[in-house]
Amino acid sequence: MTVSFDPPLDLQTIRIVRAIADTGTITGAAHLLGYSHLRLGQIDEAEKTMRRRWRVPLRTPLTYGFRGAWPDFLLWKGRFEDALAEANEMAASPHPSGHVVGFALAAEALLALGRVDEAKVATKRAADALTAAARSKTSGARLLVMLY
């Protein structure tokens, strides 16, 4: 038995995620939308979505790591210097998830640029940030450790 969807399921998924992202009620939905476009081969739409959502303020510190979608996309596109700049901005955030994800993405960009020693330092800083979050007594920091 074959099940068909009208419109196709991938377009339905995009519409649903876009509606959720546009409401702003679920943090990270906008980044999921960008990744959905990417998985469907809609590169220009993925880039537009991720770039637009990069500057949208997030509601909770824990979800700051969701912002990693944009620097991750830049890495995928081979725009390593741009990815490094955005990752460093994340790492400089006041939020633990921004530190962990930002330093990890910075390490990846540095490796791609052939800056191995700096990548090692960034990797250590990501690990240290995760360790610091693990020692925190807040439930948000403990959840961060479980996620990463």
The C-alpha atoms of residue 125 and residue 44 are separated, in whole angstroms, by 33
The C-alpha atoms of residue 26 and residue 45 are separated, in whole angstroms, by 20
Average predicted confidence (pLDDT) for the chain: 77
Strands (DSSP E) contained in 2-117 are none
Burial class (CB in 10 A: 0-12, 13-18, 19+), 3: exposed
Q: Tell me the per-residue pLDDT of 62-94, one tens digit each, with 9 for 90 and over.
A: 556 667 788 888 999 999 999 999 999 989 887
Q: Which range has the top average pLDDT, 4-18, 27-41, 70-84?
A: 70-84
Number of other CB atoms surrounding residue 137 within 10 Å: 6
Report which DSSP code applies to 95. Answer: S
Mean pLDDT on 122-139: 82
